[in-house]
Amino acid sequence: MSSPERDFVSAHLDDLHADLDAWLRIPSISADPAHAPDVAASAEWLAAALRRTGFPVVEVWETAGAPAVYAEWSSADDGAPVALVYGHHDVQPVDPLELWEHPPFEPARVEGADGPELHARGAIDDKGNVAMHLLGMRAHLAATGRDTPAVIVKVLVEGEEESGSPHFAALLRERADRLRCDVVVVSDTGMAAPDVPSAVVAMRGLADAEITLRGPAVDLHSGSFGGGVPNPLHAMATLLASLHDEHGRVTLPGFYDRVRQLTDRERALMARVPFDEAAWLAGPAASRLATGEEGYSTLERIGARPTAEVNGMWGGYTGPGHKTIIPAEAHAKITFRLVADQRPADLADQVRGWVAANLPAGIQADVHVPAGGVSPCASDLDSPAMAALLAAIGQANDRDPADVLFTREGGSGPEADLVDVLGAPLVFLGAGLPTDRIHSPNERVLLPMLYRGAEAVAHLWRELASVPLPLR
C-alpha cells in the first residue's frame, strides 16, 4: 500500500546507506578501553547526523563512562505528547575475527535469500535501528508537510549498552527533567521474521553470579593425594549439575516465587508467532533438540520464562598434555534471565541458599553476586501507545494492526531503567531479525527490514499524535 511516507523513504535510501556506511566504520566497542576514542567519535558522528536531520537541540552528554547523545525536536502542536527514542551507539567486540567473511568495520553489501543485506558489526545492533530514525523523521515531516514533528521527539542514544550500561541509570536520574516523556520507543530489538511484522512486549531481566570453590591450599599431586581429599573441580561439577532439576527448572530456593505467570491470552498470542523450531535449532544453535523447562514451548522458554545459564567454568590445568594435579580452586560464572515480577536484588540470597544446599563436604565456597542487575520489563498490550505502534507497523508492512504479532525478547537491557526512572510506558520498534547474528561474527541487517522500519517511524509519530492521552 503506497503512502507518502513510503514514497519518501524509497526515494532516499541512498541517504540511509551513506549514513550507515560512515557510522559503521567507527569501531565503537565500549567493552575495550582502547576503543574509547572510537566510542567518542561515534557519539560525535551521531550528533552531527541528528543536526543534519534537523533536530534543533543536539547534545553529547558525558557520563562517568562513554558519552550518550541527546536530541530533541519540539512540536508546533499544543499538548503534543512526548516520545523518547532509546538506542545505543556502541557495539559488541568482534572476536573471533577470523570467522568474519568481511572485515567487521568495513560494511559489505551481500545479496541474501531474503534480499540485500549489509554486513558489519553494529549493522543492526544498534546503529541500524538508530539510523532508521534519521530517515524516518525526515519521511514523517515530508509526508505530513510539517516543519515540526506531530509529537515532541526526544532521542537518547547511550554508549555503554554492550558493556551493561553501568552509568545509564545515573544519567537518567541526573537528566530526568529533560527526558520527561509520555512513552519510550525502544529501538534495539526486532521482529519475528522478514514477513512477520511484530512488536516486542517484554524483555527479560538479568542477574549474575560468580562462584569460587576452594579445596587444597595449593595444587596437589594427584598421585599422592588423589582419591583421598575433595577435588574442587568435582565439587563444581556436582554443584552446577544441581542448577536444574529433572524438569528443567532452576533449583534456586524461591527463584519462581515472584514470577508473573503467563495468562491464557498471552500464551495464545505467543502461539500465533510463527516459529520454525527446526530452522532455529539448525542455525547458530546447531542443536538437534530443544531443551528446557518442561511444560513450555521453546518460544516461551526463551522469552517468557526465567532461566539460568553457566557462561563460564574453569579450574586446574588447561594446557597441552596432562598435569596430574588436584587444583586448589574451581570457578564458574552464571547469569540468570528474569521475567516480570522477579527482582535482581533477590538473587544474592537465592544463589547463596542454592550453593549452601548443594556444596559437597570439605569445600569452601565464595559466592559473589554483584549488586544491580537488570530488571525485567513488560508492555501493556492494550495501551493507546501500543495501538499507535501496531498501526504504524501495520501500515509499513501492509497489514492490519490486529495482524501485528507480539513477541518477547529473551535478552536484557537498560530498558527497565527507563521505566523505573522516567515512569513512562515502553513500546518497541526495531528492524532486527533473530537470524541477524548480533554479538557474533558476520552480524548483518536485512536492508528491507530497515526501510520498513524507517517508514514505521514516520507513521508512528503521526499515529501517536492521534491517540488519546495518557498513552499508557
- Tell which positions 79-118 bind a copy of itself, by CB under 8 A: 99
Of the two residues 4 and 248, which places its CB atom closer to a copy of itself in the complex?
248
| Grid coordinates belonging to 320 | 597441552
Question: Is residue 194 a contact point for a copy of itself (CB under 8 A)?
Answer: no
158 touches 165 (CB < 8 A): yes
> Minimum distance from CB of 399 to a copy of itself (Å)?
25
Q: Quick one: which of 4, 372, 411, 448 contacts a copy of itself (CB under 8 A)?
A: 411
Q: Decide if residue 330 touches a copy of itself (CB under 8 A).
A: yes
Distance between CA atoms of residues 318 and 78, nearest Å: 66
What interhelical angle do 232-241 and 347-358 show, nearest 10?
A: 120
The residue within the footprint of a copy of itself, chosen from 161, 188, 208, 266 (CB under 8 A), is: 208
CA distances from 315 to 12, 13, 224, 240, 366 (A): 55, 52, 20, 14, 14
Window 334-363: residues binding a copy of itself (CB under 8 A): 335, 337, 361-362
307-339 in b/e form (b: 16+ CB < 10 A) is: bbeeeeeebbeeeeeeeebbbbbbbbebbbbbb
**Which of 54, 116, 253, 292: binder of a copy of itself (CB under 8 A)?**
292
Provide φ and ψ at 195, rounded to 5°.
-105, 20
Q: Which of 116, 222, 253, 353 binds a copy of itself (CB under 8 A)?
A: 222
Measure the CA–CA gap between 425 and 383, rounded to whole angstroms. Answer: 9
We find the least distance from the C-beta atom of residue 288 to a copy of itself, in angstroms, to be: 6
Complete DSSP assignment for 28-53:
-BTT-GGGHHHHHHHHHHHHHHHHHH
Q: Which is nearer to a copy of itself, 154 or 408 (CB)?
A: 408
Q: Which of residues 419-448 bind a copy of itself (CB under 8 A)?
A: 434, 438-441
Tell me which stretch binds a copy of itself (CB under 8 A): 12-20, 64-72, 317-325, 390-398. 317-325
Stretch in the footprint of a copy of itself (CB under 8 A) among 145-153, 251-259, 280-288, 464-472: 280-288
3-state DSSP assignment of residue 161? helix
CB of 49 to a copy of itself, least distance (A): 28
Which residues lie below 8 Å from residue 257, measured CB to CB, with a gap of 6+?
none
Q: Residue 71 or residue 325: which is nearer to a copy of itself going by CB?
A: 325
Shortest reach from residue 316's CB to a copy of itself, in Å? 4
CA dihedral 274, 276, 281, 283 (to 10 degrees): -90
CB of 102 or CB of 472, closer to a copy of itself: 102
Q: Which is nearer to a copy of itself, 19 or 125 (CB)?
A: 125
Q: What does DSSP say about strands 426-428 and 183-186: parallel, antiparallel, or unpaired?
A: parallel
446 phi, psi to nearest 5 deg = -85, 115
Out of 48, 76, 229, 357, point to the residue binding a copy of itself (CB under 8 A): 229
Binding footprint of a copy of itself, residue count (CB under 8 A):
84
> Least separation, in Å, of the C-beta of 96 and a copy of itself?
9
**By CB under 8 A, which span of 13-21, 54-62, 239-247, 264-272 interacts with a copy of itself?**
239-247
Q: Binder to a copy of itself among 116, 230, 372, 401 (CB under 8 A)?
A: 230
Q: Helix, strand or coil for residue 116?
A: strand
Stretch that binds a copy of itself, among 16-24, 33-41, 209-217, 255-263 (CB under 8 A): 209-217
Q: Where are the beta strands (DSSP E) in 122-227?
A: 152-158, 183-186, 198-203, 205-214, 220-221
Residues 140-179 that bind a copy of itself (CB under 8 A): 164
